[in-house]
Amino acid sequence: MVDICSDYGNRFGIRFNSSKSQTTVFGGRSPSHFVVKLNEAPVPYVDTVKYLGVFINSRTIVLILLQH
């Protein structure tokens, strides 16, 4: 899926930044033998991601809203 998005971006002049990207796994452990790559650069696995100002934790799947 990452390759499909990257190929689409390359065709239409959209660059995805691998240094600003993160990978998380919900409902299981991060696979140590599997590496997600975006533009040939590895994307790190993290326990918590921030999406549109909301932190999403892979272990508890609880959303923590930030005060503005």
pLDDT in tens, 54-63: 888 877 655 5
What's the domain range around 14? Answer: 2-65
pTM tops 0.85: no
Place of tokens 């918590």: 48
**Whole-angstrom Cα distance, residue 61 to residue 52?**
16
**Whole-angstrom Cα distance, residue 55 to residue 63?**
6
Q: What is the mean pLDDT of residues 19-39?
A: 80
Please give the tally of structural domains in the chain.
1
Residue type at 44 in one-letter notation: P
